[in-house]
């Protein structure tokens, strides 16, 4: 009689004990693994979030207003097109997260790790060289195509970096390591603002003389990310397979159909399906507000008079102010929130931090919704409330929704379950951006109130999840 996967797993209980012993010897914070996986996340975040700063430059360069100097009305005239450009990367993310998630379980983490970085590298060059044709199409669909492809590579980074890090860490520092990998996203966001500001300062005189020189700015800023991409690619391609996956591979069948049946049997268990749903929904709810606000930060800042009035002496003044606004918010709220999670996740636990974050974000968005007409008149007051919300996005569910799926599922399904959860988040990102682009300018209080309700729903669904702090992740293999 053919031995089932479960029988083989039970027969390998000694392997689990040996793996526990190995893990207990690796209680330190594994800096090389964090740097290897985290650099990829820094690059991903740089490319995803910097587009919100660069699109206004592209619109100004290719679609300048004929009546208002240094103010392109393209985004407000064509909100659907603007929204599609902001979410096309997320469409690719969904494909990459699910596709690479499954591939990581079937073929092994080390077999696919690095391929996603190749895709990012090639598509980054494609984005940088995007241009309009003479008659048939403009720069925007070309840029959109390359950003979808870029999104596929970025999407593959989520399940692979999470599982690779989690499977190389002992229970004492696993949460810190995985959250440190994801927290490199904050460095990427910050770096995007810094590189944009530096490039604009370097080309300041040229931009003041002729705003069409903004075309140099966005291309240089996008091209910058190929430097760390090329450096990290070699190390990813030479990475050895984790002991956790190697053990499961010995016990599991190489037959793909058997793997599918095995996953169906596993997901049919109510406890497993609730856990996967909870991880996926919390990520979905989070990204509705996180990306809806982050990718539309220039629009939101302009509505409070920051980078949106008509009194600028040059295009440089306007777009420099917008980039500076993003930098201020990153420094005050975004980056500190990420690293606060790294510092406290092993003490407070994943579940508590996620619940706390959802509650505080929901409260901040409720305040903004109720008092928008008052708050929008004071840039300082808006930045205060908005910065608090940004801090608790990251000292909260933006990090923990990445950490929990890397720990909660069996090794043989860990990559695909993380990919499914992450892809759900990107569906939420598309929804969030779609809500902001057409409606936020005219109905800001309504959109903010809806975001607040979704954040509170994330709090209640988080209560369905177990706490994974201090556990051996291979306990879920039994």
Residue 360 has a pLDDT of 97
- Tell me which residue of 288, 337, 264 sits closest to 449, measured CA to CA: 288
Q: Which residue has the higher pLDDT, 400 or 476?
A: 400
Percent of the chain whose predicted confidence (pLDDT) is above 90: 48
Cα separation, 237 vs 36, whole angstroms? 11
Say which range, 25-34, 41-50, 93-102, 203-212, has the weakest mean pLDDT.
Answer: 25-34
pTM equals 0.86
Q: What pLDDT score was predicted for residue 428?
A: 95
Question: pLDDT band for position 308 (50/70/90)?
Answer: low
| 142-169 confidence digits (pLDDT tens) | 999 999 999 999 999 999 999 999 988 8
* Spatial distance between the Cα atoms of 336 and 467, rounded to a whole number of angstroms: 24
Task: Specify the 3-state DSSP secondary structure of 314.
Answer: coil
Among the residue ranges 119-133, 331-345, 399-413, the one predicted with the least confidence is 331-345
List the one residue out of 392, 458, 399, 407 whose CA is nearest residue 428.
458
Average pLDDT in the chain: 85
Q: Which CATH number fits domain 29-473: 3.40.630.30, 1.20.1250.20, 2.160.10.10, 3.10.20.30?
A: 1.20.1250.20
Q: Where are the domains of the chain?
A: 29-473
Q: Is the pLDDT of residue 27 over 80?
A: no
Give the separation between CA 284 and CA 250, rounded to whole angstroms.
34
What is the structure's pLDDT at 30? 79
Q: What share of the chain is helix, strand, coil (3-state, %, to 5)?
A: 80, 0, 20
pLDDT digits (tens, 9 = 90+) for 228-259: 888 888 888 888 887 877 877 766 655 555 57
Where do we find the tokens 């996203």? 185
Which of 42-51, 214-223, 318-327, 370-379 is the most confident on average?
214-223
Cα–Cα distance measured from residue 340 to residue 179, given in angstroms and rounded to the nearest whole number: 10
Residue 181 CA to residue 192 CA, distance in Å, equals 18
Does the pLDDT value for residue 470 go beyond 60? Answer: yes
At residue 219 the predicted structure's pLDDT band, cuts being 50, 70 and 90, is very high
* pLDDT for residue 432 is more than 70: yes
How much is the pLDDT for 222? 94
């Amino acid at each position: 009689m053919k031995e089932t996967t479960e029988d083989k797993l039970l027969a390998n209980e000694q392997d689990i004990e040996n793996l526990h012993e190995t893990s207990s010897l690796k209680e330190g914070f594994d800096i090389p693994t964090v740097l290897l996986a985290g650099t990829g996340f820094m690059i991903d975040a740089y490319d995803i979030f910097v587009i919100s700063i660069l699109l206004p430059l592209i619109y100004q360069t290719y679609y300048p207003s004929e009546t208002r100097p240094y103010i392109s009305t393209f985004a407000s005239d064509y909100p659907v097109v603007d929204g599609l450009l902001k979410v096309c990367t997320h469409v690719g993310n969904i494909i990459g997260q699910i596709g690479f998630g499954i591939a990581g379980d079937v073929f092994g983490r080390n077999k696919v790790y690095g391929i996603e970085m190749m895709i990012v590298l090639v598509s980054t060059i494609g984005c940088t060289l995007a241009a309009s044709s003479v008659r048939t199409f403009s720069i925007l669909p070309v840029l959109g195509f390359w950003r979808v492809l870029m999104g596929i590579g970025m999407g593959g980074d989520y399940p692979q970096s999470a599982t690779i890090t989690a499977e190389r860490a002992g229970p004492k520092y696993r949460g810190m390591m995985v959250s440190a990998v994801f927290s490199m996203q904050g460095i990427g966001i910050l770096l995007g603002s810094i590189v944009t500001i530096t490039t604009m300062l370097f080309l300041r005189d040229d931009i003041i003389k002729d705003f069409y020189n903004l075309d140099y700015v966005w291309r240089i800023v996008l091209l910058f990310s190929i430097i760390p991409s090329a450096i990290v690619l070699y190390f990813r391609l030479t990475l050895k397979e984790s002991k956790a996956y190697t053990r499961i591979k010995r016990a599991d069948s190489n037959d793909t159909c058997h793997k599918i049946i095995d996953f169906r049997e596993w997901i049919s268990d109510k406890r497993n399906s609730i856990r996967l749903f909870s991880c996926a929904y919390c990520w979905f709810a989070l990204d509705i507000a996180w990306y809806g606000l982050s990718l539309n930060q220039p629009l939101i800042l302009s509505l409070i008079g920051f980078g949106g009035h008509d009194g600028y002496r040059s295009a440089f003044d306007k777009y420099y102010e917008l980039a500076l606004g993003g930098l201020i918010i990153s420094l005050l709220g975004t980056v500190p929130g990420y690293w606060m999670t790294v510092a406290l996740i092993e003490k407070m636990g994943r579940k508590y931090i996620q619940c706390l974050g959802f509650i505080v974000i929901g409260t901040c968005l409720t305040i903004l919704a109720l008092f928008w007409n008052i708050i929008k008149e004071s840039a300082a007051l808006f930045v205060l409330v908005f910065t608090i919300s940004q801090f608790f996005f990251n000292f909260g569910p933006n990090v923990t929704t990445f950490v929990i799926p890397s720990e909660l599922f069996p090794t043989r399904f860990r990559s695909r379950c993380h990919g499914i959860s992450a892809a759900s988040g990107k569906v939420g990102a598309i929804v969030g951006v779609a809500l902001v682009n057409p409606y936020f300018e005219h109905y800001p209080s309504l959109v903010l109130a809806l975001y607040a309700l979704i954040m509170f729903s994330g709090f209640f669904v988080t209560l369905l999840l177990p706490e994974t702090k201090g556990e051996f992740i291979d306990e879920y293999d039994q």
